[in-house]
Structure 1
Amino acid sequence: MSRPPEGLARALAEAERQVRFHRRLVEADPGRHSPGLASALDAHALLLGLSARREDAVPVAREAVGLYRDLTARKPGEYASAFASSLINLGNQLAGLGHHHHALVPMREAVELCRRLIPAGPELVSSLEFIGVKLGEMGRHDEALAALDEAMDARRSLIETGRTDHAIDHWAGLVALIHQLHEMGRDDEAGPYQRMAARHHRHIVATRPDFVAFLDELLNEHGYSVTATGLRRDPGRGAASTPSRPSRDVLARLRERNEEGLRLMRAGRLDDALVLFRQAIDVLDEESAATATASPLHNLALVLTKLGRYDEALGPLDRAVHLHRALAASDAGHLPQLASSLNNLGWLLLALSRFEDALVPLDEAVALHRRQVESPEGQARSLYNLGVGLGHLRRHREAVAATEEAVGLLRPLAASDPGAHRAGLADALTWLGKQLRHLGRDREARAAEREARRL
């Protein structure tokens, strides 16, 4: 692990000292000193994220969020802004580790908190822009544009005053909105924003020349350059390239290891299968052909879950989602695999009791099935898993709606192929009964439970 720069190392040591100091105070008087500990934890997490210890930042940021959640519940006017900033910090730390789905959870909570308690503040804008950028990267362009539009409405008056305060953030938000409009083919709508961005760029160059290199890096990342009248887009630069197809020899080696791993898995030789699937993944990585297929990653995660190693399975499955998304972006024929891997990721997060995090991939899986992927079985699985997550979060009304929809899809499947679907229908009916009881709908709950027992 690389060592942090000397100045950062000193700041980290001081932040850790502050956390220890405030923990001792909280032990003596929690009511009085919890705000100080929350603030110290948030600062510590931020510094950890800037160092080589980013993985350590997430649990620290989660603890800060938990403290601020309790404080805001008691005194919303006093702590809401700090709570929103803490949620944003957690989201940024998760995104820095590549956990983009999970990062959306605290960011969305920050948005809802700001809308209720601190509208039009910088926390709302930052959260909306983060959500917009990530949804755009996931191919969910309509939702991305809605979030970026809302952020821009909050920023517009500040941008038009020409003030330097938060100028860099305003400009970065403009570039994100422009890029999203271009990605959706709405170039005419992007024009006015491009002219605004060019004017604001000139203002920053004149008032904050130390930030010019950062602005140019951001432009190059998206494939833009500044002209006298606006931004010029060069589609050849900054755009994500379509993954190349690996050679036949690579595919043959991949298929051989993957199929042998499956044979070993079916024979119950899980440790041996693990070795084969990891070798298959190594073949892909060595040949820069990782997006050719995510099957070995799925199979590796499956073996790890059979071995009860759920935490280890999360990384391969998260990566499989990323690879399927890259393929689906250029070929809609891969959308079913993307929906399936999202559902599997959601199921694994449920198994780890990370119910809030599970809702993000499960929501996306359900949305894909409704709009683009025709698979009643896959849709039913995603809806049932979504209902389970909602139920554990005590969102029982929403859990009933999702589970009822799953039951509606599973009934005809179970009638035509009982061996494959009867157990799934029974599980969904049993869960539906539990959720109905939470809502006081005992008669409907008994009917669902009787149907489940008959199966």
Structure 2
Amino acid sequence: MGEAAPPPYLSRAIPTLTAAAERWPHVGSDYLYPLLKQHPQLAVQAGNAALLALAMQESADTAALEAIETVLPNGPHADLAGGIAAITHRVIGPRIERTDNLHLHAMCRTELAERLYRAGFHERAADMARDGVEIWRQLADDQPFFNAPLLASSLNWYGAYLAELGQQEEALETAEEAVALNRRLIDGDHATSLDEQSLGDALSNLATRLSEVGRGAEALAAAEESAAIRDRLGADGVRFYVSEDARAQLNLGARLADQGRTEEALAATEKAVIGFRKTVEVNPAAHTFDLAMALNNYGSHLFKADRLADALAAAEESVTLWRQLVLKWSLANEQGLAMALFNLGTCKVAAGHQAEAYAATEESAGIYRKLAAGNPAANDESLATVLGRLSTLLQSEERYAEALPITTETVTVCRRLVAADPAAHEAGLAHALFEQGMMLSGCNRELEARFAVEEAVDIRRRLAGADPAAHLPRLAQALYALSLSKYNMHGDMSDVLNTLSESMVIYRRLAAADPETFADTAREVRATFAELLPEAEGRSRSRRFGRAP
């Protein structure tokens, strides 16, 4: 007969014994560590704080910690993520030092990287994974049959860690390498359905990485190929976990939405939500994160489909779940909460709940500010987007003085983005400068407003030269605003009219091609020109006859 399990209430004594062992070492050696070596599951049952405290004890018994490590749950586990990472880190370091076995080195680093990542330590996870990948490369060169699949898997994870750090191009290269390696594996003589599953997973990751760098059509193609592989394997009798199917549908839905295929995106994402609800019923700690993410995407797709009430319900449920996750382990989940709050704010605006929209968006901005302070590469773009929305909400209520510092902050963030990647972010900087100019003008600071709008015009003129279809409308808008700014400062009327005339000519062309979008604005600009022309002629006559303008 096996040894009887300890009574569940005994786990409640673990935190007390751990604290006592810190002060009186004999409590650890005589009571705590023998108990944990015999019943390591008690530490897991005691919870995240107990695991952290055990891992942080300098005098902790290594054998007891190793026993605990063998019963730690695999996969996502939000309420234990920090403790799992801490115990694993404490155990794996000495384990690596005790052996020259490269295979064990690679496995330990890969496992620790995943657990650090789930706990929110993305930079440390990436460093550990990079070391693991390099070892797997050596092993795959020596024994490709056994180690190439493990190299491909480690590349998949490494790409995800790089993406979390804002290193999208490097993440994409890693994902492409993983897909290429998986394709070679399924073309080999000993390919199995597991190799095809791995290719499907790698393609799904590649789709996400392609989307992050703006290559939406290629991202959708990769997601569709991934879905086709799963469908084919399913037809052949291969069974998947519900969570795996749901995750694949979620990714496919996101890529379909990126390409404007809203109804198809809704159908795929609804399947993901249904799947994750089932997994949460069985294991909420492992899958609440997935459901929160799926509901966030689902709400966005419902909003685009003009199903506002349903979108609001999904967005509110998503925010509720993210708050639960943040309370359990904020470091790993604050970004998700910030994203969900922003989407909730979008729905609240459409529903006419302006104050609630502002509150949600302001909270989102506060979280992104904190995240960007620690990791600007990964969070600056989102911060700029949220700040822009916050400014727009204030502007709609003519609260220009409150909006001005926010637009100024947006410009600062956009300048950082442009310094890192001008091609990707110059248009965003031009928009932020234009909005800053509008707020400055609203606060009667016309000279500063003019400088901001002039810089926006310069950027948009350059961008329009390279891509007229994308940037001429914004250039015309900025030129119109600049002409009015010059007029408000009693500038030279010929300069005012020259700027206004350039805007008018562009709007005329735009209205001819797309009257529904641009005809009204073109008429407004033309009317303004007609209104100011007599004044310009009057000023000209005044100068001719020596009178003050």
After TM superposition, the score normalised by the length of structure 1 is 0.49
Greater per-residue helix proportion: 2
